[in-house]
Amino acid sequence: MKTARNKPINIIIFLLFIWSTPGLAGNLPFEIFQPQANLDTTNRFYKAYPGLEYNVRLAVAGGGFPYQFALTNAPTGMTIDARGEISWANPAESNTPYQVTASVTDSEGASQSVSWTITVTTTGFLFVDALNGTTTDQGGTGTLSNPWKTMKDVYGGDDYDSKWSSDYQGSFVYWREGEYILDAFLENCSTSNCHVPWYGNKPKVWIAYPGETPEINFNSSGRDGYLLFTNNTSNLYLDGFDFNLSNNSRGKGLSIGNNGNITIRKNTFRGLTNCWSGGNNSQLFFSNGGNGQYTSAQDNIASESCGYWLLGYASPKTVVENNHITTNIPLPIGPKSGIQNWTIRGNHIQGQTDGGAIFIQEFGTSGDIEINFNLIQMSQSSGPALRLFSSDPSGPIYVNRNTFVGQAVAWHLSDTKGPWEFTQNVIINNAASADKITRQGTVDESRLLISDNLVGDLSDNIVNSQGELTAEYIHFIGNRGHQVGGIIDSVFANGFE
């Protein structure tokens, strides 16, 4: 029997910018990471379905933040907002691709632009509907009018041979409301590493149907595992899902061997409860299976993790932006090995952590990491809001314009590391040091560059419970901490009715 959908209510209120306010001079090269020019219709930015909203977001790093975005060439009805999010409500099918050019101007007046085409077509799109769809075996064809029902249908089966099936390679999949279990092919289950191997021969663009939030359940109906994206993951795009790890036995969610041009956007992550030392337990894991550039993780919400939300290996040129961690997670954001040119910006992390809300724990060559405009609020001032511990030798880490309610820790900084720069932050904790930065191990003070921070104890009432500067300190808005101009920190809410 067909069942009605319970439509989700997703409320996301993001940063608003006042452009006349002084920004932050850039430390990294000013570059647009997403989209890249000269790609094809296997990339999400380059293809749309007629009549379904086309919604993407630019990912930008370096230069002076905040940015101004504009469309200098675009089809009628397409818009871009102050965050670089592009919306086109009703794409019309055309015999020729639409031309788009987006420009970004940083706070210092420098500009970058990127051009691409959008093909609007019904070709190369698949649809799956857990509530009202039909399995392949029962006659489902994966079209909008006759959608499939299961992940098994999208995968092409549940046996070993289906692992190598490439019938739908390069297709985009719209997933409709409902729960999807891991009923595709599972392997390595006898070694406690049970997973669905999602190779490059499978559809790599997953999009939630507009206005709906499909749930991927990692431990239901006897199907217990994680999703392993590997063997050519370039152009992987996951947008709008509820990833429910549901206490799966391996303690992993999405494990991605990064081959470049990857977007993880507007998803919810929850239910990671199995963790152990050395297990790399994480809801989102960029593994050593690739060294691709141009990755973005934007606008995601995470809770219920005994390990990491994001664990990063070998993914140069990555933007981690406007994500919200809503509950106690031991290690919310953890760039760990081979980290080069990462921008961690505008994230809101609440609760209590063990290792650090942002923990640079570098076991490979690191450098050029920019951490700025984040709001991190530990529930106890002893909680580590930030911990820096990088490889030897390593490059610079820039910690600028953040609000930290909790400990800021510099751990083992030698003369061959860094420098580590702390500038124009708000740092609030009960550390004994006057600059409120806790030193652990041997720290070469000449490599720790500290200037123009607003610091104090909790009793100083510098910020309120929302992380905003209080009336006594309001004149620091736009010059210290995460607030830009008259804006308030990012606020996220997510509910269902």
Q: What are 69-80's pLDDT values in tens digits?
A: 999 999 999 999
288 — pLDDT class (breaks 50, 70, 90): confident
Q: Give the sign of the dihedral formed by CA 422, CA 425, CA 429, CA 435.
A: positive
Quick one: pLDDT at residue 19?
Answer: 37
Q: What are 92-117's pLDDT values in tens digits?
A: 999 999 999 999 999 999 999 999 99
Quick one: pLDDT at residue 393?
Answer: 76
Q: Which range, of 93-107, 162-176, 294-308, 346-360, averages the lowest pLDDT?
A: 346-360
Q: Of 198, 205, 203, 201, nearest to 228 (Cα)? A: 198
**Percent of the chain whose pLDDT exceeds 70:** 91
364 — pLDDT class (breaks 50, 70, 90): low
496 — pLDDT class (breaks 50, 70, 90): very low
Instruction: Decide if pLDDT at 18 tops 70.
Output: no
Return the exposure string of 91-102: e unless at least 16 CB atoms fall within 10 Å of the residue's CB, then b: beeeeeebebeb
Instruction: Decide if pLDDT at 172 tops 50.
Output: yes
Quick one: pLDDT at residue 3?
Answer: 36
Instruction: Decide if pLDDT at 489 tops 90.
Output: no
Q: How far apart are CA 202 and CA 186, in angstroms?
A: 15
Stretch 169-193: mean pLDDT: 96
487 — pLDDT class (breaks 50, 70, 90): very low
Quick one: pLDDT at residue 211?
Answer: 97
Q: Of 437, 441, 446, 452, nearest to 415 (Cα)? A: 446
Stretch 441-452: mean pLDDT: 95
Q: What are 49-70's pLDDT values in tens digits?
A: 999 999 999 999 999 999 999 9
- pTM (2 decimals)? 0.93
410 — pLDDT class (breaks 50, 70, 90): very high
Instruction: Decide if pLDDT at 414 tops 80.
Output: yes
- Domains along the sequence of the chain with CATH: 9-120 (2.60.40.10), 125-492 (2.160.20)
On average, the pLDDT of the chain sits at 90
Instruction: Decide if pLDDT at 493 tops 80.
Output: no
Quick one: pLDDT at residue 191?
Answer: 87
Quick one: pLDDT at residue 24?
Answer: 64
Stretch 331-336: mean pLDDT: 92
Tell me the DSSP string of 91-112: PPP-SSPEEEEEEEE-TTS-EE
Instruction: Decide if pLDDT at 164 tops 90.
Output: yes
Stretch 218-225: mean pLDDT: 97
Stretch 114-134: mean pLDDT: 98
Quick one: pLDDT at residue 25?
Answer: 66
Q: What are 383-394's pLDDT values in tens digits?
A: 999 999 877 778
Tell me the DSSP string of 201-223: TS--EEEEPTT---EEESEETTE
Quick one: pLDDT at residue 382?
Answer: 83
Within 86-161, residue ranges assigned H as helices are: 151-155
Three-state secondary structure readout of 195-206: EEEECCCCCCEE
Stretch 406-416: mean pLDDT: 93
Q: What are the distances in angstroms from CA 127 to CA 49, 242, 319, 357?
A: 11, 17, 29, 37
**Percent of the chain whose pLDDT exceeds 90:** 80
Asked if 3 and 132 count as a contact pair (C-beta separation under 8 A), the reply is yes
Quick one: pLDDT at residue 23?
Answer: 55
Quick one: pLDDT at residue 363?
Answer: 61
Asked if 373 and 401 count as a contact pair (C-beta separation under 8 A), the reply is yes
Quick one: pLDDT at residue 9?
Answer: 32
